[in-house]
Amino acid sequence: MSENYSDIIDFEWGKDSLANRMSLNQRAKIFLPFSALAGYDDALKETQDRETERYLKDQAPSTTCMTDQP
């Protein structure tokens, strides 16, 4: 083995190091505000609004009469 790790290879890990660990809920709270994709939520909302408006316009009753068409 490499001598680079000789100080930690045979290290005795005690139960104290495991007992002081942070709970998963506490760890999750740390990363909650982190957003990997900055602006993604805004772009998604903009797309949703645009598509909803387009859908509602397509669903609106036509103002032309059937007799007006050739």
Would you list the DSSP string of 3-26?
A: GGGHHHHT----HHHHHTPPPHHH
First to last CA, the chain: 89
pLDDT for residue 66: 58
Q: What is the pLDDT of residues 20-63, one digit of tens each?
A: 788 888 888 887 777 778 888 899 999 999 999 999 999 888 66
Tell me which of 12 and 19 has the higher pLDDT.
Answer: 12
What is this structure's pTM?
0.39
The Cα 70–Cα 47 span in angstroms is 36
The Cα 5–Cα 24 span in angstroms is 30
